[in-house]
A = this chain, B = another copy of it.
Amino acid sequence: MGEATIKDIAKASGVSISTVSRVINGNYPVSREARERVEEAMQKLDYRPNAIARSLRNQKTNLAALVVADLSNPFFMEIAKGLEEEMAGIGCQLVIASSGGSVQKERELLDTLIEKRIDGLVIASSDNEGGHIKTCIEAGIPVVLVDRSIEGIHTSQILWDDEKYSYQLTKLFIDNGHKDIGIVNVTLTNPNGKWRLEGFRRALREAGIPEKPEFISSSNFSSDEACYFVTQMMAAKNRPTAIFCANNIMLQGTLQALRNLGLRIYDDVSVAVFGNPECNRYISPAVTAAGQDTLKMGQMAGELLKNLISKEENREKTMILKSEILMGGSIRRIG
């Protein structure tokens, strides 16, 4: 049993535990003879330093946490992947926790993460209040916000340029002759939802197209709700000729609805999405999108977090990631 402690090694090799520790860490001079005896003993007893004890002494756990709403959303998983990659560089492993979108659950998660004394936190928060995140910061935990900013929280952030690319996609519809455009949005309490709607609106406004409330989904977040909304919207006698989806999940629901209704992309309705359409791997025409480099977002989050942890660059930093308009064949020229 890997139960050997530093004390056992000391005894086995006839030196003090201080000396053993110095051999392990290599940060103080130890005679060759002693070192060899210690190393031999460690080998023989299959010694493994206890990271818990180390953490207690060093005030450092080598653990970072990622808190998201849903583990199975590819969007978050790409972030996780990038983050893990990046943190591995400083020997930091990743605790992943999901809130299922529940504010209550998220707060509980943060509480136990604080108690666990994680070295850093990356969070795509579902909590618009931000009180608990402030608590983390006050507890001395470096925090990086991803995907969603929170009013009143000052720390490193990495976001998308929601307004700009929503505007561009909407304008793309308009330039192709569309006037009746629906938007399948996430909740407006979420800042993404707010800004993606803003961009959508600006494009309409600039083109002099009046908004139609029945074409604007008010507040959903699940694929199912999106599906329901689109089904309703497309069943009405005045239906849009184009649909803008605010993220990949909204697109999923939208496609589901269109399939159920027997409507084809391009032929029957034009579609665009803010985010990465997983479907493009499978269907054609591909859905035109404002593609997000989520892997990079994870990596950048890791970089920002490392900066905060090392205090090298203590000033918090806000990064706005650019999207790239990926032209698919899902927008039909009409009129």
Contacts and interface: CB of A to CB of B under 8 A. Distances in A.
Interface of A: 1-3, 48-53, 55-56, 61-63, 70-72, 74, 77-78, 80-81, 84, 91, 93-98, 109, 111-117, 135, 138-140, 252, 255-256, 259, 278-279, 281-284
A175 B53 CA distance: 62
Copies in the complex: 2
Contacts of A282: 255, 279, 282-283
Nearest to A60: B52
Closest 4 pairs between A and B when the two form their complex, measured CB to CB = A2-B139, A51-B115, A279-B282, A71-B81
Nearest to A54: B115
Given A52-B117, A81-B98, 14 more contacts: A1-B139, A49-B115, A50-B117, A51-B112, A52-B52, A70-B81, A71-B81, A72-B78, A93-B116, A94-B95, A94-B96, A95-B96, A256-B281, A279-B281
A72 to B, nearest CB: 5
B138 A1 contact: yes
Contacts of A279: 281-282
B96 A84 contact: yes
Contact of A252 (B56, B117, B281): B281
A117 to B, nearest CB: 5
Contacts of A95: 63, 93-96
A91 B77 contact: no
A72 B80 CA distance: 8
B61 A115 contact: no
Contacts of A74: 72, 74
A44 B233 CA distance: 53
A96 B80 contact: yes
Contacts of A114: 2, 48
A81 B74 CA distance: 12
Nearest to A298: B71
Nearest to A80: B71
10 contacts: A50-B56, A51-B112, A51-B116, A51-B117, A56-B56, A72-B78, A77-B77, A81-B98, A95-B95, A256-B281
